[in-house]
Structure 1
Amino acid sequence: MKFWKFFFKNKKKCQVNEINKIFIQKIGKDNLYLSTCKKVNLEELERLCDSVGWVRRPLKKIKFALENSFLMVSIFQITEANKRLIGFARVTSDGSFNATIWDVVIHPDFQKNGLGKLLMNQIVKELRKHDISTITLFADPEVVKFYKHIGFIIDPDGVKGMFWYPI
């Protein structure tokens, strides 16, 4: 029975004030931190997604998606009074060969400051630690230039994505 407990034991819970955070920069009295903690407040994430105009999705499904993500990277603004989620991205993966990046978002008040690039670089760095080299993402036309600038390419080898949607 001990053998199976290894696979099904609860994962260690983490908070942004633990070792898994990386100091990014100081803006006035505020500090910005990057975290790889997989614990994210759903309401905070919903507010962040609202700030960029994304369509709301059911919280139950978001929770399930987060629980089944391979990696999550968040950026927090930490002031003397509180902590605020200002950036986020998550990754699904087979843990060996392939990974897909989803839900990349930076609060509009913090865009154009290099935080999106920092977030993406951290994701690639974490995936490379697992020797994952095929990293994909889906991008809206208005952000393709951003992803190209940080090293992503469109349709390598002429590969086209295929989709199936229920009618």
Structure 2
Amino acid sequence: MPSPLITYRTGNEIDLNEMLALYEASTLGERRPIHDRARMQAMLQHANLVITAWAGVQLVGISRALSDFAFVTYLSDLAVHRDFQKQGIGKELIKQTQLAGGPNAKIILLAAPAAEQYYPHIGFTHHPQAWMLSGNAEIK
């Protein structure tokens, strides 16, 4: 059976239930607060660069990012439904995010442990100077 045609859309006007189902089916849900609907809705609503992949009417991939469209785009979520992985959908989502983020804007991200080897394979370089402060951490 041939793979369905994948189409791509820009915009965050997607159904929250579809997004949550995708996160769960991609394993990204293990690292996102998918049971906190209000928080997930805010994450979707406030992302200013969202690219989605569709197989017909089914949401099968998402790139959720924050960008200034000039210097940097933070790719906060990249998810592809497990049944559609290894078809180039994630790579295409990143390409479209890169194009939409601006010709000179770099993309930065935090890789999931299982995806650490994927990003160098497609051209990302490791940046050891990155730092992270958890949302509930106290600044000393």
Q: TM-score, normalised by structure 1?
A: 0.71
2:117 to 145, 148, 163: 145
1:116 and 1:144 mapped to 2: Cα distance? Answer: 14
The amino acid that maps onto 1:159 is Q
- What residue number does 2:24 align with? 50
Aligned 8 A contact 2:12 2:50 in 1: yes
Aligned 8 A contact 1:99 1:132 in 2: no
- What residue number does 1:24 align with? none
Q: TM-score, normalised by structure 2?
A: 0.84
Structure 2: gaps (5+ residues): none
Aligned 8 A contact 1:70 1:92 in 2: yes
The amino acid that maps onto 2:113 is P
- Is structure 2 residue 70 aligned with structure 1 residue 70? no
Deviation of 1:87 after TM superposition, in Å, equals: 0.4
**Residues 20-46 of structure 1: CA distance to partner in whole angstroms, max 9, x if unpaired?**
xxxxxxx46x33211113211100111
- Is structure 2 residue 108 aligned with structure 1 residue 136? yes
1:159 to 120, 129, 132: 129
2:91 and 2:124 mapped to 1: Cα distance? Answer: 12
The amino acid that maps onto 2:36 is P
Aligned 8 A contact 1:70 1:95 in 2: no
Classify 1:57/1:98 alpha carbon distance in 2 versus 1 (closer, same or farther; 3 Å): farther
- What residue number does 1:124 align with? 98
2:115 and 2:26 mapped to 1: Cα distance? Answer: 13
Classify 1:86/1:38 alpha carbon distance in 2 versus 1 (closer, same or farther; 3 Å): same
The amino acid that maps onto 1:98 is V
Structure 1: gaps (5+ residues): 1-26
1:143 and 1:126 mapped to 2: Cα distance? Answer: 23
User: Which structure is larger by alpha-carbon Rg, 1 or 2?
Assistant: 1
Aligned 8 A contact 2:76 2:109 in 1: yes
Aligned 8 A contact 1:38 1:72 in 2: yes
